[in-house]
Amino acid sequence: DLIVDDDRTSITVPALKQAILDNLFYVVGKRAEVATDMDHFMALAYTVRDRILARWLTTKGDYVKHHMRTVHYLSAEFLMGPHLANNILNLGLQEAVRQATSELDLDLDLLIKQESEPGLGNGGLGRLAACYLDSLATLGVPAMGYGIRYEYGMFHQTIRDGWQVELTDYWLRYGNPWEIRRPQADVEVAFGGHTQSWRDPFGEYKVQWIPGEVVKGIPYDTPILGYRSGVANTLRLWRSEATESFYFERFNSGDYEGAVGAKVFAENISKVLYPNDEEIRGKELRLQQQYFFTSCSLQDMIRRHQNAGHAIENFHELCVVQLNDTHPSIGVAELMRLLIDIHGLGWDKAWEITSHTFNYTNHTLLPEALERWPLPMFGSLLPRHLEIIYEINARFLSALRERFPNDEDRVARMSLIDEHGERYVRMAHLACVGSEHINGVARLHTELLKSDVLHDFYELWPEKFINVTNGVTPRRWLAVSNPEQTELMISKIGQDWIGDLDRVSQLERYAEDSAFRADWRNVQYAVKVRLTQYIANTTGIAVDPKSMFDAQVKRIHEYKRQHLNLLYILTQYQRLKKTPGLEIPARTFLFGGKAAPGYFIAKLIIKLITSVAEVINNDPEVNQQLKVVFLPDYNVTFGQLVYPAADLSEQISTAGKEASGTGNMKFAMNGALTIGTLDGANIEIREAVGHENFFLFGLTAAEVAAKKAAGYHPHQIYESNGELREVIDSIVSGQFSRGDRNLFRPLVDGLLNTDPYLLFADYQSYVDCQDQVGKAYSDQEGWSKMSIYNAARMGRFSSDRSIQEYCRNIWNITRFGVDAPQ
Ligand code: 26V
C-alpha cells in the first residue's frame, strides 16, 4: 500500500521537470525568467518533498497499525546539516534529478549550495543524533526524534583581525521547505507557581500544581528518509508560543505589561541554542528549554499511545526513550508527574513504568560539563518536580542504606541532591536512577564511566552499564560528500556498501593493486582541488593541492589540543628557518572550529592559529613547504568539503578526555590516515585499520592519571627540551603578535605553570610521530595502501552498527522494517 508514484509525484525526468516548474510558480510564486538560485532551490526542495510525503504518511500509519515498539530519541540538539542532497540520495533520485535540472538549464550543485543548514547543535552530540536518525530510518526502526526548533541556531563565526567574532544564525530567513507545522498537535507546558496537597474522599494523598506561567509547544515535523528503505521517520521539533488564554486574561484585565511579559517569556524559550563549553550552570532559560521540550515530548508520546488505543499502564511496553545526555533527564520526574498527577496512577506503578522507559547516554567525563541546577532556582521553576525528586531520592537512599549499611559517605556521594555547600540537583544521578540502561560512547569512555565518574552507580547496578561505540552515517559522510571516491568504489565493488558498510571490506584487495592505487590518488587529488578552490574563494590563500592536507576540524577546546598541533607547526618553522632548504614534504595545515563565546583561552587559540598563519604564509623562506589555514565558520556543510580532502586527520586529545570523537571516523572512511592518541574511539579505529596503518603517539589515559597524581611539572619539560623551549620563547617574543609580548601570555603561562591537558608531556612523542608521518607521505605508494586499508576497514564505524547495538542491547527492538515482521 505504498503509493509513491502518482500523477503528481512521478519520478520520470519529464515529470520532475514539470514539478520543478509547477512548484516554482505555485509555491514559490515566481516565473522562471526572474527566479533566483534560491527560488530554484526552493522549487526543487518542494519537488523532492512531494516525493517523500507518501512514504512518510504510510510509515506513520504502519507503526500504529502494527503496534510497534517505538524509540523516542530526546535530544536538545540535532545538527542535521542540509537536507536536499541527502534526500535525493536516499530516494534514489540522483540521476533523474541531475538530468531534469540540467534539461532546465539549472546547475544542481549550485542549487544544493543555496540551502542554509539547520545548525541546531554545537558539535559531536548534536551531529550524533542526526546520524542516528538516518540509521534508524535506514534500518526501518520505528523511531521519532524530539527536540527544540531554535529560531537561532549555532552562531556564525567570522574572523576579524585574527579573532573570532560571532554573528547570529537566523536560519529560517528564506523559509524551511522541509518542515510542516502541526498546530493541532500542540501541548501546554507550565512553569513556576506552587503546589497544593490534600486528601481525596478515599484518603488518597493528592497534589495539584498551580503554575505561574503556561506556554504552548507547537510541533514542527521534518521527514527523515531511510536510505532506499521506503521508510520516512519523523523529527519533531517544538516551538514555544504564548497561550491565547494567559495572554488575553492579563490583557483584558488591563495588565498590558504582564501580557507582554508573558508573551516574551513564552517566545524566549525556543529562541536560541546555547553554545556549550560555556558555563551553563545557573542559566535559568536553559533549564526552561530542557523542561519545555521534554514535557512537550512526553505529553505527545502519551497522547499518541492512548490515541492508538493502548492503556497508560502499558506505556513502557510500546515506548522507549533515549536521553541524549542529561539535557532531557528532567523527563524522569516529568513522566512520574504526568502518570501520578494527570493520569491518576499510584507511585509504584508510575515508577515501574518510568524506570522501564528511560535510558541514558553519557557523552562527556569533563567535570565542568556535568549538569547541576541550583536548588532554589530549580524549586521556583519546577516546584512539583522538586517534590517528586525528593521522593525518588528518599526511596533511592533508603534502598542504598540497606545495601550498604553504615556508609553515609556513599549516600552523600550518590544522592540526587548535592549538599556540599550550595545545594544542587544532580541531573546525571537523576538519569542513572531513572534509567534501565546507562551507556558510554566508546569502549574506553564506558570503562572510565564505570571506574570513575559513575563508579558508585556501577557498584550498585553493574547490569545497567553498557558500551555502544559511536558511528557515523556513510550516506552523508561518504556517498553525498565524496562523490568522486564513491564512484570509484562503486566501479569496483558495487554500491551495496552504502546501505551495509561492512561490505567496504571488499575494497581491501585493491590496496595491493597499483593501477587502483593510481586511480585512488587521482580521485584524492581532484577532491583536494575542490577544497583548494573553496579556500582561495573564502580566504584568498593559495594552497597547493599536491601538498599534504593535514586537518583538524572540531570545536576549539583545550582538551582537544589544537595548540599542540600549533607547537609542531612552529617546531617545523624553526627548523626551516635554521636550515633553509631542509627536505620536508609540503604540508597544508587546515584548522576549523568555533570557540564558545565566553571561553577566552579557546578564542586566544584561534588568534594564535591565525597569527602563526599570517607569519608563515607570508614568509617566502618557508611558504613553499608550510601553509596554515584557519577556515571560518566550520559547520556540517563545510565538513562535507573537508573530510574527503584530508590526507591526515588530527585526533590528538589528551587521553581520557574525548569521549569518542566522530570526526575521526568521517576522515578515515574517506581514506585519511589518523595521527592520534589512545583516546575515545581512536583506540577502536586503530584496532580495526591495523596498528601499521595508524600514527600513534602520547600517554595513555592511565599514564595521564598517574602523571597527574605523581605531580606534573611542565616547566621542567620546557627547561630540558631545546626545541620546545625555542617554540615557546618565539610565541612570547612577540614574533607572531607584531611585537606584543603580552598577547599570548595567558595561554603560555597556563602551559608553563599547570598545563592541565599535558601538551608538554606529549610534545616530543607528537613531534617524532609527525616526523614519521612526513616520511611516510614521501612514499606515495605506501601511503595509498594505508589509505585504502583505512577506508576498507571502517565498516564497524557506520552508525547502522551502533543503532543495531542499541536495538539489541538497550531498546529490545527486534522487528526491523514494517514489511518484515520476523
Ligand atoms: C560541554 C561542556 C559544557 C560546559 C563546559 C565544558 C564542556 C565541554 C564539552 C561539552 C560537550 C558535551 C557533549 C558533547 O558534545 N560530547 C561529545 O559527544 C560526541 C558524541 O558522543 C563524542 O563523540 C565527543 O567525544 C563528545 O565530546
Express each pLDDT in 109-153 by its tens digit: 999 999 999 999 999 999 999 999 999 999 999 999 999 999 999
558 CB under 6 A from ligand 1? no
Count of Cβ atoms closer than 10 Å to residue 514 Cβ: 11
Question: How many whole angstroms from its chain centre is CA 509?
Answer: 34
Q: Which of 77, 364, 652, 658 to mutate to test the pocket of ligand 1 (most atoms within 8 A of CB)?
A: 364
Let me know if 361 is a catalytic residue: no
Distance (Å) from CA 177 to ligand 1 centroid: 30
Stretch 374-383: mean pLDDT: 98
**Run of H or E residues at 108:** helix 108-114
Given the residues 59, 473, 571, 662, the one annotated as active site: 662
- Is residue 232 over pLDDT 60? yes
Q: How far apart are CA 615 and CA 566, in angstroms?
A: 13
Indicate if ligand 1 lies below 6 Å from the C-beta of 142.
no
Compute CA distances 57 → 72, 87, 146, 163, whole Å.
18, 16, 18, 48
Neighbour-count burial of 739, counting CB atoms closer than 10 A to its CB (0-12 exposed, 13-18 middle, 19+ buried): exposed
Count CB-CB contacts under 10 A for residue 4. Answer: 16
Tell me how far apart the alpha carbons of residues 268 and 284 are, in angstroms, rounded to a whole number.
12
Spans of all domains in the chain = 67-81+117-468, 474-492+501-539+548-799
**Pocket flag, ligand 1, residue 58 (CB < 6 Å):** no
The rounded Cα 208 to chain-centroid distance in angstroms is 38
Contact 475, 87 (CB under 8 A): no
Decide if pLDDT at 2 tops 70: no
Contact in structure between 41 and 114 (CB atoms under 8 Å): yes
Q: Matching CATH topology for 67-81+117-468 and 474-492+501-539+548-799?
A: yes
Q: Is residue 814 pLDDT above 90, yes or no?
A: no
Has residue 281 got a pLDDT over 80? Answer: no
In 10 A of CB 697, how many CB atoms? Answer: 21
The catalytically annotated residue of 40, 263, 554, 594 is 554
Task: Report whether residue 658 contacts ligand 1, using a CB cutoff of 6 Å.
Answer: yes
Average pLDDT, integer, range 573-599:
96
Task: Kindly provide the residue ranges of all beta strands, DSSP E only, lying in 534-666, ordered along the sequence.
Answer: 548-553, 587-592, 626-631, 648-651
Reported ipTM: 0.95
**31 and 25 in contact (C-beta within 8 Å)?**
yes
3-state secondary structure 470-484: CCECHHHHHHHCCHH
CB 425 within 8 A of CB 383: no
The answer to whether residue 1 scores a pLDDT higher than 50 is no
**Chain segment 686-701, per-residue pLDDT in tens:** 999 999 999 999 999 9
Q: 10 Å Cβ neighbour count for 508?
A: 14
Assigned C-alpha cell, 575: 627548523
Check residue 822 and give its pLDDT.
27
Q: What average pLDDT does the segment 720-727 reach?
A: 98
The verdict on the CB of residue 661 being under 6 Å from ligand 1 is yes
Ranges assigned E (strand) in 391-478: 417-418, 424-426, 435-440, 465-467
Q: Count the neighbouring beta carbons within 10 Å of the beta carbon of residue 66.
A: 13
Q: H or E element: which one contains 147?
A: strand 143-148
Residue 442 · residue 467 · CB < 8 Å? yes
- Kindly report, residue by residue over 144-201, the tens digit of the pLDDT: 999 999 999 999 999 999 999 999 999 999 999 999 999 999 999 999 999 999 998 8
Q: Is 76 in the pocket of ligand 1 (CB under 6 A)?
A: no
Alpha-carbon distance of 537 to 515, in angstroms, equals 34
Looking at the predicted structure, is the pLDDT value of residue 818 above 70? no
Task: Find out whether the beta carbon of 234 lies less than 6 Å from any atom of ligand 1.
Answer: no
Q: How far apart are CA 105 and CA 111, in angstroms?
A: 12
Section 62-67 average pLDDT: 93
Q: Which three cell numbers stand for residue 21?
A: 516548474
Query: Which amino acid, residue 329?
Result: S
Burial class from Cβ neighbours inside 10 Å (0-12, 13-18, 19+) for residue 260 reads middle
CA 205, CA 195: separation in Å to the nearest integer?
Answer: 13
Q: What is the pLDDT of residue 253?
A: 81
Q: What is the pLDDT of residue 246?
A: 72
Nearest CA to ligand 1 atom 15: 125
DSSP for 516-553 reads: HHHHHHHHHHHHHHHHHHHHHHHH-----TTSEEEEEE
Establish whether 662 is a catalytic residue: yes
Of the candidates 44, 71, 66, the one whose C-alpha atom is nearest the C-alpha of residue 233 is 71
Backbone angles phi, psi at 309, to 5 degrees: 90, 15
pLDDT (average), residues 645-649: 98
Q: What percentage of the chain exceeds 70 in pLDDT?
A: 98
Instruction: Read off the pLDDT of each residue in 214-218 and give the average, rounded to a whole number.
Output: 97
CATH architecture of 474-492+501-539+548-799: 3-Layer(aba) Sandwich (3.40)
660 CB within 6 A, ligand 1: yes
Q: Which residue has the cell 488591563?
A: 254
* pLDDT tens per residue across span 531-562: 999 999 999 999 999 999 999 999 999 999 99
Please tell me the predicted confidence (pLDDT) of residue 817: 67
Distances (CA, A) of 500 to 150, 796, 814: 33, 10, 18
State the Cα–Cα distance between residues 440 and 447, nearest whole angstrom.
Answer: 8
CATH superfamily for 67-81+117-468 is Glycogen Phosphorylase B; (3.40.50.2000)
Secondary element (H or E) of residue 514: helix 514-539
Q: What digits encode the pLDDT tens for the residues 409-432?
A: 999 999 999 999 999 999 999 999
Ligand 1, pocket-test mutation among 73, 363, 427, 651, most atoms within 8 A of CB:
363
Q: How far is CA 654 from CA 589, 696, 758, in A?
A: 20, 13, 7
- State residue 194 phi and psi, 5-degree precision: -150, 175
The one-character DSSP state at 22 is: H
Exposure on the CB side of residue 528, measured as CA atoms within 13 A: 24
- Residue 821 — pLDDT band, cuts 50, 70, 90? very low
Nearest to 324 by CA among 76, 121, 8: 76
Q: What average pLDDT does the chain have? A: 96
Is residue 7 pLDDT above 90, yes or no? no
Contacts made by residues 485-489, CB under 8 angstroms, sequence distance 24+: 485/523, 485/524, 485/527, 485/644, 485/670, 485/671, 485/791, 488/519, 488/520, 488/523
Look at residue 820 and tell me whether its pLDDT is greater than 60.
no
326 Cβ below 6 A of ligand 1: no
Max distance between CA atoms of the chain, in angstroms, equals 93
Catalytic residue list contains 666: yes
Q: What is the pTM of this model?
A: 0.97
If you measure from the C-alpha of residue 382 to the centroid of ligand 1, how many angstroms do you get, rounded to a whole number?
Answer: 26
State which of 276, 365, 557 you would mutate to test the pocket of ligand 1, scoring each by most atoms of that ligand within 8 A of its C-beta.
Answer: 276
Chain centroid, CA 607 distance in Å: 25
φ, ψ (nearest 5 deg) of residue 72: -120, 110
Residues 731 and 570 sit within 8 Å (Cβ to Cβ): yes
Nearest CA to 786 out of 691, 666, 644 is that of 691
What tens digit of pLDDT does each residue of 248-258 get?
777 778 888 88
